[in-house]
Structure 1
Amino acid sequence: MALQLVWFRSDLRIHDNRALAAAAARGPVIAVFLHSPAQWQAHGHGANQIDFLRRGVEALREALHGLNIPLLQRLVPRFNDAPRALAAIAEEYDAAALHFNCEYALNEQRRDAAVQTAFNDAGRACHGYHDAVAFAPGELLTGKGDYYGVFTPFAKAWHRHISAERLALDDAPAAQAPLDVPAEAQPALDIPLEDEPVDGRQWPAGEDAAADHLARFLRFRGRHYQSQRDFPGVRGTSALSPYLALGMVSWRQCMNAVMSENDGRLAEGDAGLAAWVNELIWREFYRHVAAGFPRVCRRQPFKASTRALEWRNDDAGFAAWCEGRTGYPLVDAAMRQLVATGWMHNRLRMVTAMFLAKHLLIDWRRGEAFFMRHLIDGEFCANNGGWQWAASTGTDAVPYFRIFNPTTQSTRFDPDTEFIARWVPELASLAPRARHDPPAAERARLKYPAPVVEHKAARKRALEAFKALG
């Protein structure tokens, strides 16, 4: 049987990996991972995710070692260097074919097309697999034959067409006979990182850690997801997003785990589990959007009319938002959580993004980049989709006139202000009710800033800016 190459990217696992399973069925396997730090930085990834990824690659190397599959690791600074590097590896080991799982943002698609061409020109096979989605982009279309631009009908179509075949899991390959190919250590990064990564003990890497997260979520919190997911002071979400972003767990593993807890159902049954399934489908929806509407990959809004929106150039306001000193306690607590942990609660991602785009009227792309720099789960499709939703420029965007009041959000979703007290400790001495919006005298005494903008005035300004679009 002919030697096969498997190119790992954002699919750092040996179980339920379409490309790995297909390659192992055809012959002995050599695995490859290309470290592309200059490209990662060009795409905005910061120290948190780069560190998490490299720890995930090390966990993958160990798992592959147990299967006698060597992992080659090469420093390939940018995507356009990938075709030449992979072709050279294929020639060195006389590999018959390359296998990889598809990615859907524009630069990644162009990279993969160039690799395909390089292999075809060399007379070698190249196979891509739709491992990260249930349906390849273009499989689910509207009645008019267009890509979906609204989530709800997409989700209905997803549930209507999902099948046991698409949900089927691939086992990890059996151990192969050892090859005379040594595994390689990770190359040193050739770029400086702006920040120090968060303590890796907060986010253990690898598919074993991901499986443990998934099992604990479904056992202890899954059935309460619908009722607790919006409260940042409660551990109510799955916190699986970092593992999903880098493929340390697959969407199929998640869906199958839900079905085992929910009498074989995804859309019905337990409300908490069904709501979490919907969040997994959102991830797939945004990948379809990136493939079907590539303008979003070019820093353009999904809604063309919003290109003319006049964003404010407010560096001081942006710095206050980044540093968690806007004077709105819930916003500040959320931003401090992000910088300290590399993660932010989903409800607060909406609150903070809408605050930047609507209250401060600062270009959402600045916030999108700041999130990508700090998020350990930074993933272009999901991050871009969420930011455009909050800024009312994207698919399924909130109406432009919907502008969250941060104080109302605080009283509703952090009623006891436990989350605020944790992340804005200068307010912890106040009575819980006072922490939502401290009186001016208390702000001065505790050296906590006044609001950078008054809610009603900010709302009026944002409405006028959107109305000016016509």
Structure 2
Amino acid sequence: MSTLYWIRRDFRLDDNPALFYALQQNCKHAVFITAYDTWRTHNHSGIQIDFIERHLNWFSDELTKLGIKVTVIECNTFDEQREKLTQFCRSIGASSVLANSEPELREKVRDTKLAQTINLTLYDADTILPYGSVLNKQSEMFKVFTPYKKAWLNVLKQQGFEQTYLAAIPPSNNEVTQQSQFAFNYEKQDSSKWPLAHEFMQHVLPRFLTDKVTDYANDRDFPAIKGTSGISPYLTIGAISPKRVIYDLISYYPHILEDMKAPIFTWLNELIWREFYRNLLLSFPNLNKLHDFQTKFKRFDWPDHHEKFNAWCNAQTGFPIVDAAMRQLKQTGWMHNRLRMIVASFLTKHLLVDWRLGEAFFMQHLIDGDLAANSGGWQWAAGTGCDAQPYFRIFNPITQSEKFDPDGSFIRKYLPELANVPLKYIHQPQTYLDSIGDKSYWPQLVDLKEARLQALDYYQKELNTDE
């Protein structure tokens, strides 16, 4: 009898405990199983699936060098996955399956059912610290980020993090005569502008850590500056381990854990936010179902603003920073983090559209779409989530635009119809365009002052209902 390695979102040799132990058991077979209908139901974007496909083909070649044959089993649902995986185990005589765990509720339910029919062993491999290792004095998950961050840092400094599997599986020198050519039957979008993870780790991340991370605290808010690392898509699909990232970060900056006010700590702070959101997903299962974290929003009745939502989706709001951000998302499969906050606040506050619609739209387009971070971010913007901004904090898209795209270079890149608008008018071009009779750009969808007051009144009214 043999062991089967189940590839999930762990397309890497580095920090891959399931693969590590599979090789110790002389594993000769690995499997990747699609779930097309489930992917669509969960709004997985075409660009992310293409990104996964590219990494699966690379990973398959690497496993072939290690003497492991990769088989792709095409399924539509998790139920079908269980059935076909059980059949495949019988066909190759596999007595056990090794895989890295997934924290999402539906995936955990699938694994629980599957463990009733096959010998399934799961390992945690998608966070820096083990799930549940950072708790408050009541042995519960934190509900506020700052104390979680302090506790997280204390655990890391006192206990360290598991490094057993870092570089535990060195690349093989064995030649592969034929490259894998797996292709998913899914509506894909080209992801080739994003290098494969091993190229990113060799060339992109080292340059970021040496040249850019010290300026990250300032540059990250300006979308026209390439001041972010771009690592989120790789963490999302598991092509890069977060443990490898923090190991490299500490190697470059040994004292980073001691000074939370240092500019370089700002980037580490984003990694800790990722850990926070993923632990919330596991600790509060209803978040997997897109329930509001704050129960007082349970009966919140979002207005039906279908036309406004469509205008937002189609970059037709009349607010250049919002429309340029939405164009960036649809054209590239990615959106700058500051812009994600701006467009989410605008949709939920100025347009009073249910955050779940925005969350789904982002998932359908983002290469780094992740349930924990995406839903957490949207609830933060809408004021309904864990440690969210209060409902009365409403970003003004014009002042945000003036502050973070002061020369309008980002706006002009994605809204070429505004290329010739003078700088004086670039953040509010309607007056200028009207003066020259130019109808190429949309009028403002709402009056910001009126929409802000309307949002405040609506939130107050809805939250006071039944109290």
- If the TM-score is normalised by the length of the shorter chain, which range does it land in? over 0.9
Match of 1:147 among 137, 141, 144: 141
Does 2:137 match 1:138? Answer: no
Alignment partner, residue 114 of structure 2: 115
Q: Encode CA deviations 1:222-251: one digit per residue, 9 max, x unaligned.
A: 111111111101001111111110011110
Match among 159, 166, 170 for residue 166 of structure 2: 170
Structure 2 residue aligned with 1:374: 365
User: What is the TM-score of this pair, normalised by structure 2?
Assistant: 0.92
Greater shift after overlay, 51-60 or 141-150? 141-150
- Report the Cα distance in structure 1 between the residues aligned to 2:202 and 2:5, rounded to whole angstroms: 23
Question: Who is 2:227 aligned against?
Answer: 236
Is 1:271 aligned to residue 262 of structure 2? Answer: yes
Q: CA 1:106/1:142 → structure 2, altered by over 3 Å: closer, same or farther?
A: same
- Pairwise mapping of residues 230-379 of structure 1 onto structure 2 (< 5 A)? 230-263=221-254, 265-268=256-259, 271-379=262-370
Name the CA shift for 1:230/1:267 in 2 (closer, same or farther; >3 Å): farther
**Cα pair 1:371 1:378 within 8 Å, conserved:** yes
Query: Which position in structure 2 is the counterpart of 1:159?
Result: 153
List structure 1 runs of 4+ shifted beyond 6 angstroms.
175-178
2:445 is aligned with 1:452: yes
Q: Shift of residue 277 of structure 1?
A: 1.0
Paired amino acid for 1:171: A
Equivalents in 2 of 1:228, 1:177: separation in Å? 40
| 8 Å contact kept, 1:71–1:184 | no
Consecutive unaligned residues in structure 2, runs of 5 or more: none
Counterpart Cα distance in 2 of 1:390 and 1:109: 28
Q: Using the alignment, how far apart are the partners of 2:179 and 2:72 within structure 1?
A: 8
Cα distance in 2, alignment partners of residues 356 and 267 from structure 1? 38
CA distance in structure 2 between the partners assigned to 1:417 and 1:40 by the alignment: 37
1:402-441: CA deviation from partner (whole Å, max 9, x where unpaired): 0000001011111111101111111121222310112424
Give the unaligned 5+ runs of structure 1. Answer: none
- For residues 113 and 199 of structure 2, the distance between their equivalents in structure 1, rounded to whole angstroms, comes to 33
SS at the partner of 1:7? strand
The worse-fitting range, judged by mean Cα deviation, of 66-75 and 135-144 is 135-144
Match of 1:396 in 2: 387
Identity %: 38
CA distance in 2, matches of 1:174, 1:151: 37
Whole-Å Cα distance in 1 between the matches of residues 299 and 115 of structure 2? Answer: 38
Question: What is the CA deviation profile of residues 232-281 of structure 1, one whole-angstrom value per residue up to 9, with x for unaligned ones?
Answer: 01001111111110011110111011111102533538833311111011
- How many pairs were matched up? 456
Q: 1:277 and 1:317 mapped to 2: Cα distance?
A: 37
Matched residue, 1:461: 454
- Work out the CA distance in 2 between the residues paired with 1:166 and 1:105: 22
Alpha-carbon deviation of 1:139? 2.6
Matched residue type, 2:155: H
Decide whether the 8 Å contact of 2:15 with 2:241 is kept in 1: yes
Counterpart-to-counterpart distance in 2, 1:3 and 1:174: 23
Q: CA RMSD in A?
A: 2.2
Q: Does 1:101 align with 2:92?
A: no
Aligned partners of 1:369, 1:211: CA distance in 2, in Å?
A: 33
1:27–1:268 Cα change, 3 Å: farther
Q: Which has the larger displacement, 36-45 or 80-89?
A: 80-89
Cross-structure match for 2:422: 431
Distance 1:177 1:423, change over 3 A: closer
Relative to the length of structure 1, the TM-score reads 0.92
Corresponding position of 2:182: 186
- Mapped to 2, the partners of 1:257 and 1:235 lie a distance apart of 21
Work out which of the residue numbers 213, 217, 226 in structure 1 matches 2:217. 226
Partners of 2:267 and 2:170 in 1: how far apart? 32
Counterparts in 2 of 1:170 and 1:261: CA distance versus 1, 3 Å = closer
For residue 177 of structure 1, report the CA deviation from its aligned partner: 13
